[in-house]
Amino acid sequence: QSVLTQPPSVSAAPGQKITISCSGSNSNIGNNYVSWYQQLPGTAPKLLIYENKKRPSGIPDRFSGSKSGTSATLGITGLQTGDEADYYCGTWDSSLSAVFGGGTKLTVL
Amino acid sequence: EVQLVESGGGLVQSGGSLRLSCAASGFTFSNYVMHWVRQAPGKGLEYVSAISSNGGSTYYANFVKGRFTISRDNSENTLYLQMGSLRAEDMAVYYCARSPRTTRTFDYWGQGTLVTVSS
């Protein structure tokens, strides 16, 4: 049982837009920045979004993040088959531990 | 180019020990907080442990406290995780990850090393 709640899966056609939600509480998301990670099949996680909405160098602006209260959202526009991956939200809690969502599997039909 | 390369994983019997290493390059290792995050087969990410840049402070998740020890050798640019009293539920891919200096996230991850615990 993960601390943060994400939908198990989401799917859409190439070119479409999706959003992935991440729900937490005041002890984690409510008082900390949220990050999003992309894990392509068989690879390590990769940082996509940090500080709720910032993108590291090299991450295209098709990826966006937002946060409101105790929830956060990852958005992906112009879906490509190469975006098929597991996506994880992550933040920190009051005990100084990092916490993650259970992951959302994105299928590009 | 920042690189993190884990090693030391393998098959170990329940109750046994293993030491994981993470060799860092492409950045000034001694300036960064480092972490271990694990992922059981087919499961999500789980935070294990962290160590401050000079090694003076450590953090452990409750489920590994007293069994695992995180350490680092800044002269060798290497992070370690000494794992003991291993259990079936410790079986996972173990990733080392770096935190950037200015914010709390994991900006670089290693490729992971698989720990298999047999009963």
Residue pLDDT, tens place only, B40-76: 999 999 999 999 999 999 999 999 999 999 999 999 9
CB-CB under 8 Å, B59 with A35: no
DSSP class of A89: E
CA-based angle A76:A79:A84, to the nearest 5?
90
Predicted local confidence at residue A94, as pLDDT = 84
**What confidence score (pLDDT) does residue B9 get?**
97
> What is the reported pLDDT for B74?
98
Percent of chain B with pLDDT over 70: 100
What's at A90, amino acid-wise? G
Nearest CA in chain A to B107: A47
Cβ–Cβ contact B103 with A under 8 A: yes
Q: What is the pLDDT of residue B85?
A: 97
Residues of A in contact with B37 (CB under 8 A): 45, 98
Is the pLDDT at A1 greater than 90, yes or no? no
CB-based contact, B45 to chain A, within 8 Å: yes
- pLDDT, one tens digit per residue, over A49-84 is 999 999 999 999 999 999 999 999 999 999 999 999
Q: Is A96 on the interface with B (CB under 8 A)?
A: yes
What is the rounded distance in angstroms from the CA atom of residue A72 to the CA atom of residue B44?
A: 18
Cα separations (Å) of A54 from A49, A61, A64, A86, B27?
5, 10, 8, 19, 22
**pLDDT score, position A55:** 98
Q: Is B116 exposed, middle or buried (0-12, 13-18, 19+ CB in 10 A)?
A: middle
Write out the DSSP string of B42-106. T--EEEEEEE-TTSS-EEE-TTTTTTEEEEEETTTTEEEEEE-S--GGG-EEEEEEE--SSSSS-
Residue A95: its pLDDT value, please?
Answer: 81
